[in-house]
Amino acid sequence: MFSGVERFLLLRGSVAAGKSLRRNCFPRGMNLPHGDGMHIHSRAPHWNRGGFSLAEILIVLVIIGIALAMAVPKVEQALHQSAIRGALNRVATDITLTRLRAVRTSRRAVLVVNAAGTGYTVVVDPAGTPVTFKTVSFTNDYRDLRLSPVNDSVTFDSRGMLVGGSGTIKASRQGRSDSVTVSGVGRVYRRY
């Protein structure tokens, strides 16, 4: 029979006893006899396995589907909340701009929410010769977003003090809402 080294070479697929053998040339499940009566069961290598079964793929797809079904509502809520905050950040910035325009021009300046609640306009000197400084519409950037109270305004005098309007603008979308409040001295507070 074979010595220990020859057995090793035979199992590794190298040249043994003057014959050339390929690696893994034994049929799957063939028992290789050894001189001392031991048998070694040969197996095909793992890389020769062929892939995943249909059942394994279906189980993975079901798990991914369940995970997505749980995650999608949370992502939608986060997107709605993010849209509201983005719109209110824009409103807060423009309220500050309105106040600065009032102080810089030494005239009243007003931010007026439009009748549809989909945007607003910044007007300088509404009592004298009104000049529209800026108009913003949320219909393209933030769909289904509504500002309230409609037709309300935030008015600043020439010193930057709040003199008219409710001082609070609320944004709502898909049942969620947040607001921005202006103090009497013109400071903007975000409630989120």
168-173: strand order across its sheet: 146-148, 168-173, 176-182, 188-190
Structure tokens at 117: 């609640």
Q: Sorting pLDDT into bands at 50, 70 and 90, what band is 98? A: very high
Q: What is the pLDDT of residues 71-80, one digit of tens each?
A: 998 888 888 8
- Which runs of E-coded beta strand occur in 138-192? 146-148, 153-156, 162-165, 168-173, 176-182, 188-190
pLDDT of residue 16: 43
Q: Where are the domains of the chain?
A: 4-48, 54-190
pLDDT at 60 over 90: yes
Q: Virtual CA dihedral for 95, 96, 101, 106, nearest 10 degrees?
A: 100
Across the range 69-97, mean pLDDT stands at: 89
Average pLDDT over residues 128-156: 87
pLDDT above 90: residue 64: yes
Rounded CA separation 143/87 (Å) = 11
Fold adopted by 54-190: minor pseudopilin epsh fold (3.55.40)
Q: How does pLDDT run across 20-53, given as a tens digit for each residue? A: 444 445 555 555 555 555 555 555 555 566 788 9
For the segment 103-126, the average pLDDT, to the nearest whole number, is 90
What are the structure tokens assigned to 41, written together? 């069961």
